[in-house]
Each structure stands twice: as C-alpha cells, then as structure tokens.
Amino acid sequence: MSNYTYGTNAYDEIPEVAKPYGIKKVVFIGGKRALAAAEPKARKALEGSGIEVTGSFVYGVDSTQTNIDRLVATPEVKEADAVFGFGGGKALDTAKMVADELDKVIFSFPTICSNCAAGTAIAVIYHDDGSFDRYGFPKAAKHLFIDTDVIAKAPVEYFWAGIGDALSKQPEVTHVSKGEDLTNTGALGVAISKTVSEPLFKYGEQGMDDVKNDTPSKAVEEIALDILVSTGYASNLTNQKDFYYNSWHAHAFYNSTTAIKREGTYLHGQIVSFGVLVLFAYFHEEEEFKKYQEFNKRIGLPVTLGELGLSQDDVEEITKGAMETNEYRNRPFDPEKFSEAIRCADELGKQLLEE
C-alpha cells in the first residue's frame, strides 16, 4: 500500500521520503503535459538533496508493451535507482511497469486525477492500435506526491473523467464481492470501497468549477484524495492472488469498447461512467440507476451510447468483447442480460435527455 503526501507544497517532502530508500539517482517518466507542469517543481525540491536526475522521458501516448520495452532499454532508465512517474493513468501505468521490470522503486506524481492508477498495483496495457490488451500487475508506488495546485491547474476534463471512473468503485466491488466469505484483506477493501461514491456526489460539481478556475480548493482536495487514495486502496485490497473483486460490468464495458473503431476520443472514466449505469440496469436496481444517471447528466458524463460514439448496433460486439475480459474470470456472465442492460441504459438515457 502506498503512503502519500498531499497539498500545494507536497513535493517539498520528496528528499525526506526518498532518504530511507538510499536513492542517489532517479529518472522521470511521464506524459508531455505532465512533465511540463510538474518537472520544474520536482527538480527544485531535489536541489541540494544529493539526488541526481539521470533523464526525463515522455512515455508515449498509450501504455503499450512497445513503450514499456523502449523505456526499459533506455540507459538513463537503467542507471537510475528509482522511477518518478508523472501524469495520469496511462503514463503512470507505463512507469509502474517499467519500474517493475527493472526491479526499481517507483514514486508517483499524479498531475491529474483521471483515475486511481497512481497508487494501484495494477496496470492497463493496450495494443499498439489502442485496443485493450491485458492487465499487468506491477508493484504499487512506494509513495504518492499529490500536489493539489498542479491538479487544479490541469484541464478540467481529466478531473471530470476521474469522477466518472471513481463512480464505478463502490458498485462494482460491492456487487462482485456479494455473498463471498471475505478475508480480512478483502473485507477491508470492500469497506473502503463503500466510502468512495459519497464524496463524488458531495464535492464533484464544486470541484469541477474550482478546477476551471485553477483553484486548489477543499473540494478539489477531497475529490483528488477520494480518487487517488480511497479508490486506489480499495483497488489494491480487492485485487489479490486468491480473489479479484476490483471491477466488474462497468470496466468490462469499457475494455470491450476500446476495440470498436469510431469517430472521437473518449476518456477512460467517461466510458466507465456509462458502464456503471449498465451495471445497475443489469441488476434492475432502479433507485441507484436513477441516482447515478442524474448525477452523470448534471456534470456532463454520458447517459447514452451516442455520447460515446456508439449505438445499439454495437451492442452485440460490445457483449462479445466483454465476455473475454478479466472481469468475469470468477463470476458467471449472462451475455443476453448484459446486452439488454446496455440497451436499457441507453433508452433510459435518451428519455432523460428529452425531459
């Protein structure tokens, strides 16, 4: 489990946190925008610490094995004692996989909170064409440095998508673990997952307004911690060798849609948020469906397939892809019911938009 430091001066703690690990050399890996936003602050924090930066590298565009292999073979990466990963999900997943393959310590510097990747021991790996490949299981970062000023000044769409992704944690974990004889670890993960949704409903809209105004407010801080820490902890505790309660219908929906070629670009959490509605439709949970659907509408998350560049003509292909995902390795899956849930969520969304 990762420790964490948060606030507008979080990076000031880097030397003290790194000291016990005997780190003398670090390499920066991240997204282009992320490095531009955070690298100067990180370098300043390292001044006089005796820690050398061997190099700074943009990871690529997707967390692919091609990008991982390229970085693993880079001399400056090999030379470093630790990896500092900067960015959002794909950048941090790449950095985690690189560190894991080279058996190096990794520290995470989330510059956006588009998902919980900064602190998780799981990575989403894509094919070079952008379609979902597999999950990787690297070691989690030793420490998260959550600079809320950097996060508040990032594009609001990533904050928005992070809310969408985090909306899945509580319903997915509670449903997939239902009826299980939970171990202490599993029970703790489930308990933490049950704390995730409420802060999103409470602070989500205000947090988005504050990010639009580059303001590192309490709402921004609460959402960032909910996504990066609470959701991350729940993910790690429910993703174990002996059991997997970390995700279900919402992420199966997302994973499958990555293989469907269509116009537009859609963020992970944006798609997952509609998958949450599919989950509630699958289980005929009308009250929860309506609560999450109305919240989606209020903050601009999708309530229809059309908002994701999809249509009901894609449902069979989505269902076929979902059957092949990791989400169903421990659970029965009714493809007809899943297809019907997608269509139902879409139809109810169309009705909501017409009101």
pLDDT digits (tens, 9 = 90+) for 17-34: 999 999 999 999 999 999
- The reply to whether 14 sits in an annotated binding site is no
- The reply to whether 111 sits in an annotated binding site is yes
Coil vs helix vs strand at 105: strand
Are 146 and 252 members of one domain? no
**Statement: residue 64 has pLDDT above 70:** yes
In order of 181, 302, 313, the CA distances from 160 in angstroms are 35, 11, 28
Question: Which of 105, 128, 152 is a domain's end point?
Answer: 152
pLDDT in tens, 249-303: 999 999 999 999 999 999 999 999 999 999 999 999 999 999 999 999 999 999 9
Question: CA 258, CA 343: separation in Å to the nearest integer?
Answer: 18
- The reply to whether 93 sits in an annotated binding site is yes
pLDDT: is 331 or 282 the higher one? 282
pLDDT of res. 297: 98
- The reply to whether 63 sits in an annotated binding site is no
Helix (H) or strand (E) holding 200: helix 197-212
- The reply to whether 92 sits in an annotated binding site is yes
pLDDT of res. 325: 74
Which pairs count as long-range contacts for 216-223, CB under 8 Å and 24+ apart, including other chains? 216/8, 216/148, 216/149, 216/151, 216/152, 217/152, 220/148, 220/151, 220/152, 220/159, 221/6, 221/7, 221/148, 223/113, 223/159, 223/162, 223/163, 223/199
Instruction: Tell me, yes or no, whether 272 lies in a domain.
Output: yes
pLDDT of res. 327: 66
- The reply to whether 74 sits in an annotated binding site is no
Question: CA 321, CA 259: separation in Å to the nearest integer?
Answer: 8
- The reply to whether 251 sits in an annotated binding site is yes
**Statement: residue 307 has pLDDT above 80:** yes
Q: Within 13 Å and on the Cβ side, how many CA atoms surround 142?
A: 17
230: its two tokens: 């609470």
CB within 8 A of 341, min separation 6: which ones?
Answer: 249, 278, 279, 281, 282
Instruction: Tell me, yes or no, whether 253 lies in a domain.
Output: yes
Rg (CA), the chain: 20
9: domain CATH number is 3.40.50.1970
Mean pLDDT of 95-116: 97
Instruction: Tell me, yes or no, whether 177 lies in a domain.
Output: no
Question: Which of 125, 152, 179 is a domain's end point?
Answer: 152
Instruction: Tell me, yes or no, whether 180 lies in a domain.
Output: no
**Statement: residue 141 has pLDDT above 90:** yes
Instruction: Tell me, yes or no, whether 184 lies in a domain.
Output: no
Q: How many domains is the chain partitioned into structurally?
A: 2
pLDDT of res. 341: 98
126: its two tokens: 């894509």
- The reply to whether 116 sits in an annotated binding site is no
296: domain CATH number is 1.20.1090.10
- The reply to whether 165 sits in an annotated binding site is yes
Mean pLDDT of 145-162: 97
pLDDT of res. 326: 65
Do residues 295 and 204 touch, judged by C-beta distance below 8 A? yes
Range of 74's domain? 3-152
What percentage of the chain carries pLDDT values higher than 90?
A: 90
Mean pLDDT of 120-140: 93
* 355 confidence band (pLDDT: 50, 70, 90): confident
Question: Which of 152, 176, 191 is a domain's end point?
Answer: 152
- The reply to whether 268 sits in an annotated binding site is yes
Instruction: Tell me, yes or no, whether 120 lies in a domain.
Output: yes
Instruction: Tell me, yes or no, whether 35 lies in a domain.
Output: yes
What letter represents residue 240's amino acid? Q
CA angle 58, 61, 65 (to 5 degrees): 90
pLDDT: is 245 or 147 the higher one? 147
pLDDT of res. 190: 97
